Amino acid sequence: MELDVRCEADTAVFTLSGELDLATSDELHRAVRDALHAGSRSLVLDLSDIRFIDSSGISALLETRTAARDASATLQLGPLSARVSEVLRFTGVEHLFDPIDT
């Protein structure tokens, strides 16, 4: 997975590409933790270039949601690749995330 983080004011935008899975989810955890510790209060995950996501990737998204909530921050997903959207819908967790209209 490639991860780019752009911070503007109190918003951190994470652009992910490749695979979000067991081998890469820790990188997302670290980046989210660092952004929250730096004062970000709004997190945006751009998943439009994620071509594969497994249960570890879904867990990473759920843990990001929890970390944001615990830090009184917001989390939005979007845009989403077709694969991510399909997996979120299939696993029944799509409703837990605030989407961004693109």
Give per-residue pLDDT as tens, 85-94.
999 999 999 9
How many helical (H) and strand (E) elements, i.e. helices and strands, does the chain have?
A: 3, 5
Give per-residue pLDDT as tens, 49-85.
999 999 999 999 999 999 999 999 999 998 999 999 9
- Assign domain 2-99 to its CATH superfamily: STAS domain (3.30.750.24)
**pLDDT given for residue 100 in this prediction:** 80
Q: What share of the chain is helix, strand, coil (3-state, %, to 5)?
A: 40, 35, 20
Tokens of 100: 């961004």
Question: How far apart are the C-alpha atoms of 85 and 102, rounded to whole Å?
Answer: 14
**pLDDT given for residue 38 in this prediction:** 95
Peptide bond into 99 cis (omega under 30): no
In the chain, % of residues over pLDDT 70:
98
pLDDT surpasses 80 at 101: no
**pLDDT given for residue 99 in this prediction:** 80
Residue with tokens 């660092």: 34
pLDDT surpasses 90 at 28: yes
Question: How far apart are the C-alpha atoms of 90 and 33, rounded to whole Å?
Answer: 28
